[in-house]
Structure 1
Amino acid sequence: MTDTTGQRIVTLEIGGERRSFDIDDPHLPDWISDRALSSDGYPYDRKLDNDRYETELRQLQIELVKVQSWMQKSGERVIALFEGRDAAGKGGSIFAVRAYLNPRSARVVALPKPTETEAGQWYFQRYVQHFPTRGEIVLFDRSWYNRAVVEPVMGFCTPKQHRHFLNAAPVFEKLIVEDGIHFFKFWLNIGREMQLKRFHDRRHDPLKIWKLSPMDIASLDRWEDYGEKRDLMLKETHTPHAPWTVVRANDKRRARLNIIRHLLQSLDYEGKDAASIGEIDRRILDFGPKAFR
């Protein structure tokens, strides 16, 4: 909400206490900074050491280069979509996956608001035209799952459209998998205080302020509604052929490493080095609705 002075202030209930958060105040309140990493029951009390992160990330990115070479030879296709609340780390995770891949066959798709023409089409139509051809990997920075969470929360679709989507998505995705595409769905999950911290960081960093949209501000007091729609989405669209991979993303470093490990472990490519891939941290990465129990 916006107060009479024009400052963007929201009153939140955190841990049974009512708190006021002014995103325009350059000082981040202690109640946010102290709780950000541990929010939503995050299992670690500190971020992964950066030197360790960089070492492990390089090994995994070498494996990703092998994957791309294998795809070019075999014609295999990959779709990976990244979903999550605003500031969950979708873009950074995609960047870590794609950093050393040939951009000619590793594409990122981040679609804007639908045009009037697109709004009148079959809902999935504008996404299908971006699907991979032989040897391509396509990474969706948000996807058709806008209709599962963002659109119903913000009033951009009707309840009937929302329900129709939840029924149709598993059928649509079965067609994707049956056509031989390797298909991944990642939900990046963050706690409320971590989201507030990241919003605040964006607001006060001149290099990142473009990432903070009016939609982000409008979502501040809709946390519970987002959570309810997320839970319903996971319940209705987590299927054996297209499972949801849920990643605890309060620490971006751990999230990125485990996302890449899951991708690599799921693909049977030439020259696969299991030792370089390592083991997935099951405290960070889980599957489907049970991840929130």
Structure 2
Amino acid sequence: MTSINSVKPRPLKAEQLTEFLELCGELLKNGYPVQNVLVLAPSLKVLSQPQVGLLADAFKEGQPLAQAMAPLVRQPNLITQLEIAEAHGNLATCCRENAQFLRERQEQSKQLRGLLAYPIFLIIMMMALLAFIQLVLKPQLNSLMPEQTSQRQTFWPIVVGLALLLMLTIFWIKLPIEKRRYYHLKMPIVHQIWSSYYHYLLFTDLAHLIQSGLSLQEILGYVSKFDSKSLQVFLARKVEDEINAGQDLRKIIHREPLLPNELLILLAKGEERQFQAMELQILAQRNFHSLNRNLKRLIEQVQPLLFIVIAVIIAVLYLQILLPIYQIMRGF
């Protein structure tokens, strides 16, 4: 019989991760050790037995929560945030804030799916109708035309469009995650969303680290030890390398698109660490609220844009049918 621990656990689903972080945050807030989550999570159906077994083994080995969760979470940015918060005494707040963030994102995703369902169904039906016109109806109409006006079927626009879409998909999949972040900041419509999300992560972690009394060099060296796929580690290593190469920190911040320009203001003010940490927390909250506003605005804009696409497809459908009929009438 296969033991529970021998079954490879699946990564946490979005809903599971949200509930798990909420549970951890509440336990820590009320003074309970985080290991107690293993007692409550199975009964609340937050974790499966293989997932509980993996966490139990990790806790027995003395691993902190973030490291124990790492095999179950596909978000390196989140794991790095938890590691930083856990090392500096802010784990309960970090768990609750990330649970709130994930829950709001899930609600927005549900709302977006609800708005997209009908327009996407219409687009699929119209694309199927367009294919029927091209492959079945149009050849029959062309056979009725006078010989001098008969037209050949040309599918090259569709083929070229599908080829370009396939090439873009392959390019994006193969693109390293570091380069994807820079493309995120250049994308039309959604670049503000990505910018707010990245800045929220950075301000939150910097607030925790500065509040703990670490210097800039200590912060860079400390963060560089975590998962290299996360945004925080990527930027820490990049900034550390440039500082070691003799670059000025202000020029680095001004030149690096992923770093918020508000850091220049904080450096110029030269305040005490306690006040810097407070200002960073305020900036983190502002970016969090900006992220939510931009997501809601995007949701409101998506459906009208799709209906414009539908209108264009309808116009193309009419042209595909009416132009051959007009050519036939001219022939008589």
Does TM-score exceed 0.5, indicating one fold?
no
User: Which interval holds the TM-score relative to the shorter structure?
Assistant: under 0.3
Q: Which has the higher contact order (CA 8 A, sep 6+)?
A: 1
Q: TM-score, structure 2 length as denominator? A: 0.25
